Amino acid sequence: MSLSKINIAVAGATGFTGLDLVYLLSKHPRVKILNLCATRNIGKKISYFDKRIKKKLPKVSHLKDINWKKIDLIFLSLPNGEAQKIIKKTFYKYENLNYIDLSADFRVTNSKIYLKNYKKKHKAKDLIKHSVYSISEFQKKRGLNKFRIISNPGCYPTSIQIPLVPLIKKNLINEKDITIDSKSGFSGAGKSYKKKFPHKNFYNSTFAYSTKNHRHVCEIEQEILKFTKKKINFTFNPHLLPTYRGILTSIYISLKKKSSAIKLRNELINFYKKSPFIKVLKLNSPLGSGNVLNTNNCEISICETRIKNKIVIFSAIDNLIKGASGQAIQNMNILFNYKENLGLK
């Protein structure tokens, strides 16, 4: 599929992720934005919500105002459960319409596991087979255009899978002994973050949560098994930071025999040699999220510890871009056969 220009709509345009998405799309040379949809603030200019957006764009409107026949692609940046309803209504009626869903609605391929983790019945089970979970770097060689529904990964799972999958696949680390610690800016919780996290001193404290069973665990397990054919044993500990954006993930692993930190780094460099957004740093480089903010990059650092054969892998992304809107556009570029980094430089 390759069109000189595509007509798009964005549902959930005024949320944290939606605004980053609109801002990036407004600069994309192959995109024409026809609809920016929300449930409130109808009729307002999108620049009211984000002063970065300088281009003249359609005013905020209802979803019902979309002329679906004119749309090539809709981005769905909505609460979990809502994308299923929209796709269910339009999938068979408009056969040229494609979807990139930034919620969890099509990330989990087993509807029973979806129900267990998200406490909602899947409303479009018959369409799961028409969807594909896509970390862009893993999916671009597998034919993304075979699917009309592209499920954008979660931000935590993106930061985790990018460094881990190539190393597990090459049998370089012990897949039964992995501890994952991720720290995220509060924008990952959406605009209702204060309701979700009502702890004291919110803007001055770090907060650990959902250690026993975070809902992204099933997504990580599913995809690592799919790509490596191995079932991993890991703990996942998420933390919320008093900062707006960015994720730093620390992955504690033990090496297999004849493996080494140098081999891990070399494997990642080789695996991502044609991936413009993955940056593998020098061995033992200190790493924070500062370099990746407002970019679609993922920076990775392999660090030795004082314990032999124990390694820490650090991975940093911007949760709103590589963890959401940027990766969604990267997936769009691959889907429509554009340059992978178009509009994301």
Give the amino acid at 288.
G
Is 218 in the active site? no
- Determine which one of 37, 155, 218, 298 is catalytic: 155
Query: At which residue do the structure tokens 């090459």 appear?
Result: 170
- Give me the sheet containing 310-317, strands edge to edge: 207-208, 234-241, 173-185, 247-255, 310-317, 298-304, 278-280
* Cα 181 to Cα 248: distance, rounded to the nearest angstrom: 8
Question: Alpha-carbon distance 12 to 79, whole Å?
Answer: 9
Give the integer Cα–Cα distance in Å for 241 and 247. Answer: 9
Q: CA 255 to CA 264: how far, in whole Å? A: 9
Q: Is 222 exposed, middle or buried (0-12, 13-18, 19+ CB in 10 A)?
A: middle
**Rounded to 5°, angle at Cα 61 from 59 and 67:** 105
Classify strands 234-241 and 207-208 as parallel, antiparallel or unpaired. antiparallel
Q: How far apart are CA 290 and CA 162, in angstroms?
A: 19
Q: How far apart are CA 126 and CA 232, in angstroms?
A: 29
**To 5 degrees, how large is the angle CA 328–CA 244–CA 52?**
65
Q: Is 106 helix (H, G, I), strand (E, B) or coil?
A: coil
DSSP 263-297: HHHHHHHHHTTT-TTEEEPPTT----SGGGTTSS-
Q: Which residues are catalytic?
A: 155
